[in-house]
Amino acid sequence: NNPGIEIVGHNLKFDLAVLRWHGILVEGPLFDTMLAAWLAVPELRRSMDYLAQALLGYSPVTIESLIGEKGEDQLSLMDVPIEKVVEYAAEDADITLQLADALLPRIKEMNQERVFSEIECPLIPVLVEMEYQGIRMDVQQLTRLSAHLRNEIETSASRIHELAGEHVDLNSSRQLGIILFDKLKLDPNAKRTAKTGQYQTTETVLRRLAPKHEIVEQILYYRMCTKLNSVYVSQLPGTVYTPTGRVHTHYEQAVIATGRIQSYGPNLQTIPVRTELGQQIRKAFVAGSDNHRLMAADYSQIELRIAAELSKDEGMMATFRNHEDIHTATAMKIYDVDFEGVTAEMRRRAKTVNFGIIYGISAFGLAERLNIPRSQGQVLIEQYFAKYPGTQKYMDETVEFAREHGYVETMTGRRRYLRDINSRNATQRRSEERNAINSRIQGSAADLIKLAMNRIHDLLKKNDFKTRMLLQVHDELVFDLHNNEESIVLPLIEEAMGTALPMEVPIEVEVGIGQNWLEAH
């Protein structure tokens, strides 16, 4: 019934990954029923058994009926009579093909053919190969960093106790709140949590108080060091696969509503880069051999460029066409100063406004981020829209479209459904309005890098290059670059990333090369 489809499966990436580890490469058009369901019937759960019941009115034999429920007494399929396994496997294959037949017309009906056939299904073998390659890790670097962090944690804790004038449990929000607000009286209007009545000591609260007292700076530093050591530095060595000496993260396509890829086992997309200590973690990710170096190719301000493309705001588009710094340009506009008059603080605020606006930030939210009165936050937003009127028009039209149709679309046609966009609950409605505004931008960015990954994978394979694509982290791709291929591969990758999704606004790709991820970033 589907002559253009060679391989049909449910969660094909898992099956192809198993085959890849056994030296078997799979080629040909793919049809993943899990991805098809994600795009065509996003309101449904995506397990094969559930989809069979929902779309086919059929309940397949469950794996539990063969091997039992999860637990110590659960069997292996090796323990099940072969005739039962054969029947179970044959039914799975049959149901999967029936699901493909049921989902294909729905994909067409939902106008998701391009997203499915040009972006998501071709990406499956790309992710399989990236997972298989993995990235080499210098465990000794992490060991050294762990020792340094433990020393920093102890030193910071001692200083906090000294400034508090007593010993305090640094992991107790209640005790910290008493010290900060009852004893030191850093904020007479300190907020308490509704549930427990304790003072709020979140990072946002502490950052606002940091200029008032050294103890707050020390608490923030203590928390940062503790998190780095416990969540990353201590955990990452255990994720190294001994036979390869590499970390093999896994990627999920059908999780995030905007289309972004999610990394897990371990999650390499959340490794911090904003602090010097956090950056040291990236130093532990190294080139695969003496013949390679790591190369990081990162889209420059891609979400703002896409916002300019979608809004068609002349001011934003001109800034990018002229290769000017968008944050400086915004500061010049909203503060009405020339280039020389833009201070570092003005640019910082303009950057916060730029990114906040495309996420539908409120005056209150902007004021919180900038630690300014709400009235000033409102003025900044009004000044921004006065200078970039196309942005206001884009936001209004996007929300209006979402209210009428119940979804929004990216530049490739990927849809995100917003069931509460017309809710009577103001909080839910505003949240969906923000989702509508930023989903078109984030989703288009997700489509862009996926299209680029597909093209780059084909280029590396077609030319039999020794360079390998290893990681995808938000708007960045990391490669094991073979030393003899730099002059050939680098421009090919830049061109593939820069032209993957045609836009009027120029796309810029920043490339760095080094022995480790930190040097390359």
Write the pLDDT tens digit of every residue in 33-92: 999 999 999 999 999 999 999 999 999 988 888 888 888 888 888 888 898 889 889 999
- Selection from 354, 319, 307 nearest residue 334 by Cα: 354
Condensed to tens digits (0 to 9), the pLDDT of residues 381-425 reads 999 999 999 999 999 999 999 999 999 999 999 999 999 999 999
Question: Is a pLDDT exceeding 90 seen at residue 361?
Answer: no
The amino acid sitting at 356 is G
Q: What is the pLDDT of residue 68?
A: 86
Q: Is residue 303 over pLDDT 90?
A: yes
Reply yes or no on whether the pLDDT at 4 is more than 80.
Answer: no
Tell whether the model's pLDDT for residue 102 goes beyond 70.
Answer: yes
pLDDT of residue 1: 46
Q: How far apart are CA 319 and CA 308, in angstroms?
A: 10
Across the range 191-200, mean pLDDT stands at 87
Give me the mean pLDDT over the 187-199 stretch.
87
Mention every residue, 6+ apart, whose C-beta is less than 8 A from residue 278: 224, 228, 271, 272
Q: Can you name the residues that pair with 170 across neighbouring β-strands?
A: none
What's the pTM value of the predicted model, to 2 decimals? Answer: 0.91
Q: Mean pLDDT, to the nearest integer, of 165-190?
A: 92
Report percent pLDDT > 70 for the chain: 99
pLDDT exceeds 60 at position 5: no
Q: What is the pLDDT of residue 61?
A: 86
pLDDT the model gives residue 491: 96
| Mean pLDDT, residues 135-140 taken together | 96
CA distance 118 to 112: 10
Local confidence band at 454 (pLDDT 50, 70, 90 cut-offs) = very high
Q: CB-based contacts of 169: which residues, under 8 Å, 6+ apart?
A: 175
Residue-level length of the chain: 521
SS3 7: strand
